[in-house]
Structure 1
Amino acid sequence: MSSEGLWSIGELAARAGVTVKTVRFYSDRGLLPEAGRSSGGHRRYGAEALDRLRFIRSLRALDLPVPEVERVLEEDGDDDALEEAVAGQLRHVGSQLTALRWKEASLRLIRECAAGERTERLRLLGALPAPPDTDALVRFWRRALPARLPRPVVSLVLDAVVPSPPDEPDPEQVLAFARLHALVTDPRLERPEFRPAPPLPDGTYRPAVLYEGLAEAYGLASAQVPAGRAPQDGGALDCFVAAYAHACGEPDTPAFRRRLVGLLALDDGPVLPRYWKLAAGLFAPDQPVLGLLHHHLSVALRAQVYGPVA
């Protein structure tokens, strides 16, 4: 220590338990206050620099990036700046943990499956982004939805039909998500016979009216089908039919209901039934599966019009 009570760069490094290279790095970035210079022009540091260096080490021990550390120091340790930096790091760590859980579940999926299934499952997992996202699922539904649908309605539909990857998946959920991703990215979807059928013939209905009405009907049905029971007459079923009737500009009559049964019975191709089967286990327990609700309502309408299936 100098006669002025200041330390050289080596002395500061020893007191802080870091290397001289570390002190020089932070000093060169202007993060450590210099208390003066020696007669030979060497840096000298006081107790303030030691406190600052220890504070930096604490932040870096939490893996805060150097730019974030700099921002916190620029705000002179302001609580808001520190809280924002820590919150950002928590989000980053949460994403890393989610990615690790997906890797763990993926490894368990491969370890626990039969030897003859491993090649196919490795192929599915290899095509899935890591960590997984819902971009491909969103693109699939944007192509399937009517072009004239207003943006707020599109957002409402996407929120209801696109399952989020679970934060803590089990192997079966990993497999379902991988198969779902493969389904919606299948090149055959460009062929007309594989595209999901529109809910009604194009040009014969108002899409926004239909989807907004269906959202209300599905909401009612989700309260009526908690244990797999089909919706009863009235309530959700009437709302379901009204959504189609209003969208077509027609009254809800027995004749319309008979015609609607025929429209709903049209083959919607091989894609959507498989989509809903794979997605069912990926939605949150309290989140209704729209494909299942739509099926229940369609069956209830057919039973009302033609009587229960024997």
Structure 2
Amino acid sequence: MTLKLAVGLGIAGIIVVFGVVGPLLVGNPSTVRDLGLTGPGNGFLLGTTQTGQDVFAQLAYATRGSLIIGVVVGALTLLLSSFFGIVGAFVGGWADEAFSLFTNIMLVIPGLPLVILISSYVPNKSIWLVAAVLAITSWAGSARVLRGFTLSVRSRDYVLAARISGEKRWRILFVEILPNLIPLLASQVVFAVIFAILGEAGLSFLGLGASGSFTWGTMLFYAQNGLALRLGAWWWFAPPGLAIALFGAALSLINFSIDEIINPKLRSQTRAERNKWSVKS
């Protein structure tokens, strides 16, 4: 395991544990107290909002909400991109052409305006609806990448040998082709999770996020409406912003490590550059 992968897994693991265990250890994040805007201390680890709500409790629930959106979008993106990318390329013929055409149409449709349009027309948006909208607008790029790689694997000698020997098509797909796509699938899922969390934060910051649910994006939205930046209430807006930055950086490190596994040339190139800098120093 490389240092890059270890750091990424460590940071992501801490945030995931906090998102799973944190809500079980804190009180109701929506409880209003007659305290006003107070800084960390006095029984509140991260202070309170203008209405006396516990910021630490909100952060715990927001972490869980953002992780749910990330996982759901990653799973839906994996299913959609695998179906339209891998299955279409493996079957070939008119199915591949139809799937490829539909994927290209989804690619040319601007994702962010479409997400904003759909979100603005739905009055009560749950976390699940926001996740579904983000997944629908983000799977096409992964499907195109998977299709190209599947076409390459499908034409390799051992796959052709399996076809000539009379192997069933489903066995060729699941035994001969899919194992070679696992690192690429993992990379695409990690990228989808990053997109989902950043996309949800952007939607919530614009007031188009999940209604009645806490996420990192909704925390920033409420902090903006409460003039936290102008009032200097850093404990209100800094924690969710830092959480987004740390989790995004951790997933990026994991994604870079997966890319090095997929393409050994990147690993050797990184090692050569590191040796070059060590010689210079």
Q: TM-score, structure 2 length as denominator?
A: 0.22
Q: Looking at both structures, which has the greater relative contact order when contacts are Cα pairs under 8 Å and sequence separation is at least 6?
A: 2
The structure with more helix, counted as a fraction of residues: 2
Higher gyration radius (CA) = 1
Q: TM-score, structure 1 length as denominator?
A: 0.21
